[in-house]
Structure 1
């Protein structure tokens, strides 16, 4: 019982600290000064991580349905590890680089009237996808962690119950992460 309590507290703390840290880094006007050119490649790297994660989630889901739990475990463990890598890269990027502004063609950090006119309804589509991606990525964290905990604790009934809605949300977040990157990539500062 003590280990379960520690696990639940850990899940709660991670689930609160991670989104709070990300929000602070994104909305902070202060960035850590860095001269490393490779930092500008992080969004593409993270899109690759999201692509691989989506593929592994699909394979892992199929393997679970086929009863190949060994391959299912491998796919899910790699997906979780990739999620941690994504988060570390994401935090590094937003601590050092300004956020992209969708439609800011001249990359001056301002979406002027002409730029807004040029992208028209596409900005609404982008922001809708981005908002759903952000909200669901924050919301899914505790459920992913609980799903892993239940699997490790061999509470398979609870694991199956929670992954019925966690898995599709995690997949959606991974796929929309790639879509957001593809839509925003022309507007990332170099």
Structure 2
């Protein structure tokens, strides 16, 4: 891969790694008086679950030499992540946040999972983008090296998103 192309990708990675969390933070503060025709949290939680399953299958595919399937699964996972993000922001722009009403140890577990989910959901963005670019530019060894970090981070974000939803769902 040509050095100029990689530099161009790197600029996009940096820009998106900053722009996505910044846009989410800004849009989180915007409230739109609109009632959505569907209740989004179970939908975007399900998308997180699908993301987790696709990630696991993608790792299985690459370990079994099914590189084209791996690529298709990762692209589908990226689409799921983008859909999740759009629905998550849309929900929070049209609805008030729901407070967790549990107590005792479950309250601490909930907040631990929520806080680590939020922090890692921001931190994983550049990892996902770098890993994807290294894959599509055929930098196989660099791709494998960073994928070993990206996979568990991304999987944790997807699974913890589902857990957070399940824990807060009684309070909607």
Same fold per superposition (TM over 0.5): yes
Separation in structure 1 between the aligned mates of residue 167 and residue 103 of structure 2, nearest angstrom: 11
* Structure 2 unaligned regions, length at least 5: none
2:144 is matched with: 160
- Pick from 78, 87, 90 the counterpart of residue 89 of structure 1: 87
Q: TM-score, normalised to structure 2's length?
A: 0.94
Separation in structure 2 between the aligned mates of residue 9 and residue 122 of structure 1, nearest angstrom: 42
Q: TM-score, normalised to structure 1's length?
A: 0.85
String of CA shifts for 1:96-131, please: whole Å, max 9, x gaps: 11111101xxxxxxxxxxxxxx62221111000000
- Pick from 19, 38, 60 the counterpart of residue 58 of structure 2: 60
Q: Pairwise CA RMSD of aligned residues?
A: 1.3
Higher radius of gyration, 1 or 2: 1
* Structure 1 unaligned regions, length at least 5: 104-117
User: Which residues in structure 2 correspond to 1:67-106 (within 5 Å)?
Assistant: 67-103=65-101
Runs of 4 or more consecutive aligned structure 1 residues displaced over 6 Å after TM superposition: none
1:121 pairs with 2:113: no
String of CA shifts for 1:28-66, please: whole Å, max 9, x gaps: 2x511103342xx11111111011111111111111111
User: Which residues in structure 2 correspond to 1:31-42 (within 5 Å)?
Assistant: 31-38=31-38, 41-42=39-40
